[in-house]
Chain A
Amino acid sequence: MKSNYTKKSCQAFGAGVAVLASALLWTTPLIAGDYSFSGESNTILRMRTTINDKNLFPAYEYLRLNASDNRSDGTGLSFYLGAWGRGDLGDKSTSSSTDGDLQYAYLTYRAPKNNTAVSIGRQFISEGVATERIDGLYLRNDFLYGIGASAFVGHSVITEPNFPGGSIVYGARISQTDKKYYTVGLSALKSEYENSSRYREEEGLDLWIRPHQKVDLTGRSTYNSLTNGWMENNYALSYAPLSTLRFGADFSHINFKDYLASVTTSALSLINPVWKANEKQTAVGTSVAYSGFKNLNVTADYRFYSYDQSGDASYFGGKASYSFPENLTVGAGLHRMDGDTDRLRYVEFRAFASKKIGHADLTIDATNLNYDRNINGIRACYTFTGAAGYELNRKLKLGADMEYSKNPDFDNEVRGLLKATYTFDTTFAAEGGTKSEK
């Protein structure tokens, strides 16, 4: 079942916001006088042959546009737009030979005081329990005593659902911060079906505690009011006794019944026979990282997954990486997964290197997965990737990738990709460095 809203109304809404915002921004410079316009175009051609001998050559265009009114007092009106489109030059790569999407398109105003922000349009909301893309309105503000508040309301962006999802979604978060020591937040999210019946009701507590400069604790607990159960409790602690040594520990407990109750994808719903509906997972992990040698980082990690109804699994190993900024990056990692099924018993190895030589850069990346027993007649799986790029000038870069893989699903698969990246920036940001697109 496809959402009519997503396919039609949503795109019309996005286009409307884009037109309105563009009109505002093209007239704003006449008033403000300090204005920047930047963006990036990525043109990508992918190449592969499918298992049915179909030759796929989908060509993509990714476009990102940013326009900002940079007033010296920090006040600013900005517009951000991201979209992509695809056309198949060979056989159809999906059920349609063309497709595309408006990823985000919103107008935002930021005030010089109290981190006041107002955004309208298609945007990504990340506030406590809410990690949503909506077509709607977002507000935030800081108050006295470190209190901050945010709220949002809009229409959920749901694509290609197997089951109907919610229509309107709204939520809020209130937090209290002592910048040196902690942030505590309480948040809630509600979503309703088009007939106004309840779809999602989630509440949560989020913590970020830094009692000492060397200790950092983050985490979140989320409760599902519709199923009356905790969806997840997820906390991570790190302790860095030295600037070169860091210990980490994390804990998570997830109730599948409560967490998966409102998904619209059948693959992840409770009807999927891969996991039991009343399954509960507890994961405990620990890690130690050392960076005592110049530009060299070494990490060892261990994670234990425990299930109420399925068997347990352990994942452990280590990795090392060496990076010389803007010149050379090399790394390697070795991990063992030790679980109760054939697919969960393997050794994984990965090595990569990336080197910049003048205007060119070269990258190689290899992954090897060795199962304890054959899966579809295959025991050792490989993926080799090679990539090369060349910067013609500050604005234009060309690149080409080639990937070979052998795995239980594909015997010898070769894929290729060509890419042209064009960036443009009419002015540098008035208040400092330019922001990163990557």
Chain B
Amino acid sequence: MKNKIVSMSILLLMMSLLYACANTSSLPRTHPEDVGKAGMPDCTACHTDSWGAMNHRAPDFMAKHSNYAGSSRQVCSSCHQESFCADCHSHKEEIKPSDKFTDSPERNLPHRGDYLSQHKIDGRINPVSCVKCHGRQNNARCASCHR
């Protein structure tokens, strides 16, 4: 018990020291430039560091965006409201994202067109891609047939 208290105290002391010495400025709460006006932003136009990788026009951005969000979500929050994520990442939803935004055909929105037929293909190819949204939530439609 005594050892645990000493270890915890040392850990807390180190954390406090690291915190106090870090003293970095937080990311701005809104992006300094309004980058969404000209369609999908190309972050490399200004950023030469790792944030340049978040170039939304890159063909693999959609596939990689979960890694960027899981690693640095505070960067995403500089431009996107919570509602932007919730348009697709919802735990209970009745309207497909592609039905909500038919006026944005260039966006990589899931379940476009006739998805009742297509889901049998996607589910067979890679059920894991379904799990992220429907594995533990947002599964009322699944349960209506898969009992």
Residues of A whose CB lies within 8 Å of any CB of B are: 40, 42, 44, 46, 58, 60, 64, 66, 68, 70, 74, 76, 78, 80, 82, 86, 93-94, 99, 101, 103-104, 106, 110-117, 123-124, 126-128, 130-131, 133, 140-145, 147, 156-162, 165, 175, 179-183, 185, 206, 208, 210, 213, 216, 218-220, 232, 236, 238, 243, 246, 248, 250, 254, 256, 259-260, 262-268, 272, 274-275, 281, 283, 287, 289, 291, 297, 299, 301, 305, 313, 315, 321, 323, 325-326, 329, 331, 337, 339, 341, 343-344, 346, 350, 352-354, 361, 363, 365, 367, 369, 375, 381, 383, 385, 387, 389, 399, 401, 403, 405, 407-410, 417, 429-438
Q: Give the residue name and chain of the B residue nearest to A364 (CB).
A: B105
Q: Are A432 and B28 in contact (CB under 8 A)?
A: yes
Q: Which residues of A contact B140 (CB under 8 A)?
A: 94, 159-160
CA distance A431 to B134 in the complex (A): 37
| Residue B4 is within 8 A (CB to CB) of chain A in the complex | no
- CB within 8 Å for A431 and B28 given contacts A131-B70, A297-B59: yes
A184: shortest Cβ distance to chain B, in Å? 9
Q: How many A-B contacts are there with CB distance less than 8 Å?
A: 358
B137 touches A159 (CB 8 A): yes
**What separation, in Å, do the CA atoms of A291 and B44 have in the docked complex?**
14
Cα distance, A58 to B118, chains bound together (Å): 24
Judge whether B12 is part of the interface by a CB distance below 8 angstroms: no
Is B67 within 8 A of A265, CB to CB? no
Residue pair B26, A114 in contact (C-beta under 8 Å): yes
CB within 8 Å for A264 and B136 given contacts A180-B49, A417-B99 = yes
B132-147, CB under 8 A of A: which get 1 and which 0? 1011111110111111
Please state if B29 and A367 are interface contacts (CB–CB under 8 Å).
no
Contacts of B24 in A (CB 8 A): 113-115, 142
When chains A and B are docked, how far (Å) is the Cα of A85 from the Cα of B27? 35
Are B92 and A159 touching (Cβ within 8 A)?
yes
The CA of A266 and the CA of B144, in the complex, are separated in Å by 11
With both chains docked as a complex, state the minimum distance between the C-beta of B87 and any C-beta of chain A, in angstroms: 8
Instruction: Tell me the complex Cα distance, A75–B23, Å.
Output: 14
Tell which of B25, B32, B80, B83 touches A112, judged by Cβ atoms closer than 8 Å. B25
> How far is A12 from B85 in the complex, measured between Cα atoms in Å?
23
**Contact (Cβ within 8 A) B26 A160:** no
Determine which of A114, A162, A236, A254 lies in contact with B23 in the assembled complex, contact meaning CB atoms within 8 Å.
Answer: A114
Chain A: which residue is nearest B74 at the CB level? A115
Known: A232-B128, A354-B104. A112 touches B26 (CB 8 A): yes
A–B pairs, 12, beta carbons within 8 Å: A133-B89, A144-B21, A185-B71, A206-B71, A213-B52, A250-B60, A265-B146, A267-B139, A268-B142, A365-B102, A410-B116, A436-B81
What's the Cα separation between A112 and B145 when bound, in Å?
50
A341 to B125 Cα, complex, angstroms: 11
The contact string, 1 if C-beta is below 8 Å from chain A, for chain B 13-36, is: 001011101111111111111111
Are A407 and B117 in contact, with the CB atoms below 8 A? yes
Query: Are A220 and B114 CB-contacts (below 8 A) given A103-B86, A387-B102?
Result: no
Given A158-B136, A267-B146, A435-B80, 6 further pairs, Cβ under 8 A: A66-B82, A113-B23, A115-B26, A162-B143, A410-B116, A436-B84
Contacts of A183 in B (CB 8 A): 50, 71-72
Q: Looking across the interface, which residue of chain B has its beta carbon closest to that of A435?
A: B81
Task: Please determine whether B58 and A437 come into contact, CB atoms closer than 8 angstroms.
Answer: no
In the bound complex, do residue A431 and residue B83 qualify as a contact, i.e. CB atoms below 8 Å apart?
A: no
Any A CB within 8 A of the CB of B63: yes
Contact residues in B for A216 (Cβ distance below 8 Å)? 53, 64
State in angstroms the CA–CA spacing of A189 and B106 once bound together.
35
A267 and B142 contact, CB distance less than 8 A: yes
Residues of B within 8 A of A433 (CB): 30-36
Q: Which residues of B contact A93 (CB under 8 A)?
A: 94
A128, A260, A429: the one contacting B127 at CB < 8 Å is A260
Q: Which residues of A contact B53 (CB under 8 A)?
A: 208, 210, 216, 218
Given A126-B69, A248-B60, also A323-B103 (CB < 8 A): no
B110 within 8 A of A: no
Nearest chain A CB to B115 CB, angstrom units: 9
Question: Which of A147, A165, A354, A381 contacts B114, CB < 8 Å?
Answer: A381
Picked from A78, A114, A220, the residue with its CB within 8 Å of the CB of B22 is: A114
Given contacts A140-B74, A268-B127, A331-B105, contact A435 B50 (CB under 8 A): no
| Minimal beta-carbon separation of B68 from chain A (angstroms) | 7
* A370 to B135 alpha-carbon distance, docked (Å): 30
Q: Enumerate chain B residues within 8 angstroms of A179, measured Cβ to Cβ.
A: 49-51
Verify B126–A283 contact, CB threshold 8 A. Answer: yes
* B residues near A410, Cβ cutoff 8 Å: 114, 116
